[in-house]
Amino acid sequence: MKRALFVVGPAGSGKTTLCEAIQDYLLGKNCGILPHYVNLDPASNIPQSKSNNAWDIREKWNLEDVMRLYQLGPNGALMYILESFGKDAEHLAEKLQPWQEDFLIVDCPGQIEAYIHQEGGMNSVISTFKDHGYDIIILFTLDSTFINNHRKMLLGVLISLVSMLHLGEALLIVVTKMDVVGGVEEWDSLQDSLQDFLNTQEQNSFLGKLGNIFDKFGISEIIPVDVTEPESIAFLHGRLCNILGQDEDQVNFNDNDADHDEE
């Protein structure tokens, strides 16, 4: 069974840290098949040689070279690389070939343009994965420090909804860095406070109408995560398993043969 977890979200929202935490958690479970890390961020500063890396966009594109060659700034060069990569479905298919049985954890860039309007970039990459039979889950990360600033949090949730529209795939919002705001135990009160804020807005005001949208989309579906707490990663993992419609043991890859049977 082919599965890929895409971790997307604004710059600095904790995507790479979350990818590493999920990978470490699964590796710690000593499963039969390893969860593999895929780096799609050309500007990443993590070592390319990191163990359990499946592949890295920097193998083919160097950000500085693209900047120099096309006289682009770092953001323009990054968008150029993503677009080239997304459109090169054949290259991507070749990259996916060795990982037919594996769980890929895909760390994505922090340029929000890639998720809200760029055509032929992330949306093409995700389509190619789906064309190759992958079950996809997208996590959209929002920094916990947004929560205390209600307007910022609402903006973050709105961007996540626009990303969902653009990427053509449902996504799960994960609030990262919960350790900074006192741990996941604080989530209920932070969420109540956000809801109180929305409830006190005039129904016909912009924020009042936004509140109705959030009611429809169910802000209770947002998952708070504290990477410093293994139970928190275990909880997130459980949710991913539910979404994939599998019990945790299957997604833990303990039953290698079962996966082969299903292929």
Ligand X SMILES: Nc1nc2c(ncn2[C@@H]2O[C@H](COP(=O)(O)OP(=O)(O)OP(=O)(O)O)[C@@H](O)[C@H]2O)c(=O)[nH]1
The residues binding ligand X (CB under 6 A) are: 11-17, 41, 110, 176-177, 179-180, 227
Q: What does the chain come to in residues? A: 263
In the bound state, the residue with its beta carbon closest to ligand X is 110
In the bound state, the residue with its beta carbon closest to Mg ion is 16
CB of 161 to Mg ion, least distance (A): 22
Assigned token pair, 233: 């990663």
d(CA 209, CA 64): 44
For 87, 136, 192, 218, the CA distances from 185, given in Å and listed in that order, are 43, 29, 13, 20
CB of 143 to ligand X, least distance (A): 8
Residue 227 binds which of Mg ion, ligand X, none (CB < 5-8 A, kind-dependent):
ligand X
**134: three-class secondary structure by DSSP:** coil
CB atoms within 10 A of CB 237: 17
Cβ closest to Mg ion, residue 16 vs residue 23: 16
Residue 13 binds which of Mg ion, ligand X, none (CB < 5-8 A, kind-dependent):
ligand X
SS (H, E, C) 223-243: EECCCCCHHHHHHHHHHHHHH
Q: Which residues, 6 or more positions from 93, have their beta carbon under 8 angstroms from its beta carbon?
A: 128, 132
CB of 111 to ligand X, least distance (A): 8
d(CA 42, CA 78): 6
Cβ closest to Mg ion, residue 15 vs residue 177: 15
CB of 7 to Mg ion, least distance (A): 9
Residue 11 binds which of Mg ion, ligand X, none (CB < 5-8 A, kind-dependent):
ligand X
Cβ closest to ligand X, residue 13 vs residue 118: 13
Cβ closest to Mg ion, residue 11 vs residue 93: 11
Cβ closest to ligand X, residue 1 vs residue 227: 227
